[in-house]
C-alpha cells in the first residue's frame, strides 16, 4: 500500500474536497447549480468548498456569486480582472484550491454531481486522478461529434501525452497532482494536455452526458478550432517536421523533373513549354511556402507569448480565500 493511500485511509478527519467552477456570464445557472450540487456534497463524508472563478463576466455573475458567498462561506470566489479564457480560469482555480482532492466541473450541470461519490471512492482506493468519460454525445451536433473525435485521434497520434477520447475537464485530482500542475509555467495553456502530461495513477468513470440545463455555451466553432491549434502546437512539433519532409519531397521531384527537361533538350532540342503549367507550378509552390510560413508562425507566436512571461491571469478580488495565491515559477 502506498504512503498516499495509507494517509487517505488513516486520516482522523474527513478529507477536504474543493470544486473549481469557471464562470463566464452564467448568472442564470448559478442558483440552480448551487441548489443541485450542495445536497450531494452534504451527503458525502467530506469537508467541501466550491471555488468559483469569475472569468470577467459582463452580466450579474459576480453579484450572484457574492450573494452565494454571503449566504454560505463554502462558496469562495476568484474574480479575474477580465476574460482570460477557460484555461486561465481553471489555472486560477487550481492555484487557489486547498482541498486534499480537487474537482474541475462546469456550472451548466452537464458534469453530473452524482459522479462525485464514485470519484471520491476511487480516490480513497489510491487513484490520484479520476476522469469522467462521456459514453455518448447526443446533445452535440453531428459536426461537433465528428470534429471532436477526429481531434482526439490526431492529437494522440502526434503527441506523446495521450488524451483519453471523450474525456473533458471534469475530473478529480489529488493535491499532489494539483501541485504538479501548479509547477508548470507555460502561458499558452491547453489544460487537457497538461492533465495528461503530469501522469499519475488514473481511473475512469463512464457517464451519459445530459443536456445543458441553464444558460448557453460560450464556445463557437472558431474558438474550438483555435483551441485545437493550441493543443497540437503545445504538445507536438510534428507539423514542423512534416513540412520539412514535404519540402524535401518537392525539392526531389523538382530536381528529377529538371534532369528530365535537360535530357529532353539535349536529345530533342529546345521546346517552348506552356504558360499554364508554369503558372500552376509557381502558384502551387507559392501556396506551399505560405502555408509553411503559417505553421512556423503558429509556433513562433507561442514562443513570443512565452518569452514575455506575462501572468496567466490577474485577480481583481478574492472572497473567502487567502490574498496570497500560490506562487508560480
Predicted confidence pLDDT, tens digits, the chain (329 residues): 455 555 565 556 788 999 999 998 888 888 888 888 888 888 888 889 999 999 888 888 888 898 888 888 888 889 898 888 888 898 889 988 888 899 998 888 888 888 888 888 898 888 898 988 887 755 656 666 666 666 667 666 766 667 777 777 888 999 899 988 888 888 878 888 788 888 888 888 888 776 665 555 555 556 666 666 666 666 666 676 777 777 777 767 766 766 676 666 667 665 555 555 665 667 677 767 777 777 777 777 777 777 777 788 888 888 877 754 544 54
- The answer to whether 47 touches 11, Cβ cutoff 8 Å, is no
Query: 21 φ, ψ to 5°?
Result: -130, 100
- The answer to whether 204 touches 122, Cβ cutoff 8 Å, is no
What sign does the CA torsion over 154, 157, 159, 165 have?
positive
Residues in Cβ contact with 234 at an 8 Å cutoff, skipping those fewer than 6 apart: 186, 188, 189, 190, 193, 302
Residues in Cβ contact with 50 at an 8 Å cutoff, skipping those fewer than 6 apart: 18, 19, 21, 34, 37, 74, 75, 76
Burial class (CB in 10 A: 0-12, 13-18, 19+), 251: exposed
The DSSP call for residue 305 is H
CB atoms near residue 10 (< 10 Å): 7
Amino acid at each position: 500500500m502506498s504512503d498516499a493511500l495509507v494517509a487517505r485511509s488513516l486520516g482522523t478527519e474527513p478529507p477536504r474536497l474543493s470544486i473549481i467552477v469557471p464562470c463566464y456570464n452564467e448568472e442564470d445557472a448559478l442558483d440552480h447549480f448551487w441548489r443541485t450540487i450542495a445536497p450531494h456534497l452534504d451527503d458525502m463524508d467530506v469537508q467541501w468548498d466550491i471555488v468559483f472563478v469569475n472569468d470577467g463576466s459582463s452580466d450579474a455573475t459576480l453579484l450572484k456569486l457574492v450573494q452565494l458567498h454571503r449566504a454560505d462561506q463554502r462558496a469562495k470566489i476568484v474574480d479575474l480582472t477580465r476574460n482570460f479564457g477557460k484555461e486561465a480560469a481553471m489555472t486560477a482555480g487550481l492555484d487557489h484550491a486547498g482541498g486534499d482532492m480537487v474537482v474541475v466541473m462546469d456550472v451548466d450541470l452537464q458534469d453530473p454531481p452524482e459522479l462525485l461519490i464514485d470519484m471520491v471512492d476511487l480516490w480513497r482506493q489510491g487513484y490520484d486522478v479520476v476522469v469522467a468519460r462521456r459514453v455518448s454525445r447526443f446533445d452535440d451536433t453531428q459536426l461537433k461529434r465528428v470534429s471532436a473525435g477526429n481531434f482526439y485521434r490526431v492529437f494522440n497520434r502526434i503527441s506523446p501525452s495521450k488524451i483519453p477520447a471523450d474525456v473533458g475537464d471534469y475530473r478529480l485530482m489529488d493535491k499532489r497532482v494539483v501541485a504538479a500542475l501548479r509547477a508548470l509555467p507555460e502561458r499558452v495553456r491547453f489544460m487537457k494536455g497538461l492533465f495528461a502530461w503530469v501522469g499519475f495513477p488514473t481511473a475512469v468513470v463512464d457517464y451519459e452526458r445530459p443536456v445543458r440545463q441553464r444558460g448557453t455555451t460560450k464556445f463557437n466553432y472558431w474558438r474550438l478550432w483555435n483551441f485545437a491549434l493550441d493543443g497540437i502546437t503545445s504538445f507536438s512539433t510534428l507539423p514542423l517536421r512534416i513540412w520539412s519532409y514535404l519540402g524535401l519531397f518537392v525539392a526531389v521531384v523538382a530536381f528529377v523533373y529538371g534532369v528530365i527537361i535537360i535530357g529532353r533538350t539535349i536529345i530533342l532540342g529546345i521546346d517552348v513549354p506552356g504558360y499554364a503549367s508554369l503558372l500552376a507550378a509557381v502558384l502551387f509552390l507559392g501556396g506551399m511556402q505560405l502555408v509553411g510560413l503559417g505553421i512556423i508562425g503558429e509556433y513562433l507566436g507561442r514562443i513570443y507569448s512565452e518569452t514575455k512571461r506575462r501572468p496567466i491571469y490577474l485577480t481583481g478580488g478574492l472572497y473567502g480565500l487567502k490574498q496570497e495565491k500560490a506562487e508560480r515559477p
